[in-house]
Amino acid sequence: MEKTIFSNSWILTTSTLVVITIITMLMVYKRKKSSTMVWPTGPKTLPIIGNMHVLGGTALQVVLHNLAKIHGNVMTIWIGSWRPVIVVSDIDRAWEVLVNKSSDYSARDMPEITKIISADWKTISTSDSGPGWSNLRKGLQNVALSPHNLAAQSQFQEKDITKMIQSLKKEAASNNGIVKPIDHLKKATLRVISRLIFGQDFDDDKYVDDMHHAIEELIRVSGYAQLAEAFYYAKYLPSHKKAVRDVEEANKRVKKLVRPFLSLNPPTNTYLHFLNSQKYDEEVIIFAIFEAYLLGVDSTSLTTAWALAFLIREPVVQDKLYQELKDFTVKNDREIVKVEDLNKLQYLQAVLKETMRMKPIAPLAIPHKACRDTSLMGKKIDQGTRVMVNIYALHHNEKVWKEPFKFMPERFLQTQDVVNGKAMEQSLLPFSAGMRICAGMELGKLQFSFSLANLVNAFEWSCVSDGVLPDMSDQLGFVLLMKTPLQARIIPRV
């Protein structure tokens, strides 16, 4: 009896897989047959899995960089059997997609699951370009993140950094000098973004903690979205169904968290005031606000954590940065580095750029999609074609960057090599480029450099144990995560 049940189950499973295979291959064949577009070459594909067999082993951006050396800087990758994407790893072609033909490639192709936390793809990062997208983006950039607004944040940021330094001292005192800086960095960034959304008087630690947890939970389930996009039938798997339920729960938590603040009467220079003034639906307002947190908090705090990890591994660089900070603060009678000082500190800015070059927070950016028939390298590209720019590859091009895998901030200091300096400037795209460049770029750079300057000015950062350097392995989620969250030993500067 058991043998018969097993046999029937095996036959059913096998039959199902065969049917799925045939359907998937027919979908691919139909797509190929209906188009005259010639796809760039790429790795050999296998039934069902496409190129998945060559995409493992290490970080995806690194794998794609290495594959481009074999198959060309413009290649086709099949993620599963039915989701082809053109991967660009060349600066000239990247500029063609991102800048020169920015409007042609300005559409998005987001995982289906993201509809749940983006008001059906009506937020800045998830929607196609158009009047609605443009208006929302202008509200964030020109109102909430305007230069005047960011400058007005400085007094509050100084209080935030003082609070962070004291919290780190307290943690170190109770843990043999060892700290985990990432949560401190995230909460400081959360406070900055909250004030830009709701107003400068906003001060709600419970809200900050709850929003922090909501973001962490959403990042935890993000990997399932990639699985469902790779395989047409994966959305029927129990793991993906659970991920959908988890994201739906996150949707409810975010609404419950943000909704009470929508009745505030915020100042006119806030994101909430802008959203209310445009008569957006409540769903759009809530998830436009959540998007600002989701894309701003982890990107800024993790870039700072990556920088600290590099400085621990390169103590000579850390000493050089501290000397610049010390000389400046002593000369100007400062206890902390102020926001207005940041652009005067050349080595700090070099460390910022080198960190973003080595560990771009979105190494594959958000994939673009052709919103009309267009071309790439003079060859036809059909409307709807997905294109991914490998920012990591641009940042590690040996023709542009001397010793690209070495952390050398000095490469960004003034140089007589005008030609190579121009090439480096064009190749450094941590925030992408063109009309879909990161809307929060200026806030990200400001918060990162401000936090790093004051943390290095306040503490000497070193390994937890002698000879055990920070793990620089990463994993790709919404942003470039640390596989092993940074721990460090800190000693207050005298």
CB atoms within 10 A of CB 170: 11
Using an 8 Å Cβ cutoff, are 76 and 103 in contact?
no
* C-alpha–C-alpha distance, residues 312 and 44, integer Å: 42
- The answer to whether residues 478 and 330 touch, using CB atoms and an 8 Å cutoff, is no
What's the CA gap between 358 and 340, in Å, rounded? 26
Hey, how many other C-beta atoms are within 10 angstroms of the C-beta on 237? 14
Cα gap 405→401, rounded to integer Å: 9
What strands, in cross-sheet order, belong to the sheet with 107-108? 74-78, 84-88, 386-389, 368-369, 107-108
310 vs 461: CA distance, rounded Å: 10
Q: Which string of b and e fits 92-108 if b means at least 16 CB within 10 Å?
A: ebbbbbbbebbebbbbb
Distances (CA, A) of 131 to 136, 138, 272: 9, 10, 19
Which residue bears the tokens 């500190």? 345
Inter-residue long-range contacts of 177-181, CB under 8 Å, 24+ positions, other chains counted = 177/489, 177/490, 177/491, 178/464, 178/487, 178/488, 178/489, 178/490, 179/487, 179/488, 179/489, 179/490, 180/485, 180/486, 180/487, 181/304, 181/305, 181/308, 181/455, 181/486, 181/488
Burial 33-48 (b: 16+ CB within 10 A, else e): eeeeeebbebbebeeb
Give every CB contact of residue 297 below 8 A, 6+ residues apart in sequence. Answer: 186, 189, 190, 193, 212, 215
Angle of helix 441-458 versus helix 346-358 axis, rounded to 10: 110
User: CA-to-CA distance for 475 and 481, rounded, in angstroms?
Assistant: 5
Question: Tokens 């043999």 correspond to what residue?
Answer: 176
Q: Is 371 annotated as belonging to a binding site? A: no
- What 3-state class would DSSP assign to 155? helix
How far apart CA 191 and CA 157 sit, in angstroms, is 9
What one-letter code names the amino acid at 76? Answer: T
Give the pair of three-digit tokens for residue 344: 């005067």
Tokens at 20, concatenated: 């799925």
Q: Which residues are annotated as a binding site for heme?
A: 438
Q: Which residues are annotated as a binding site?
A: 438
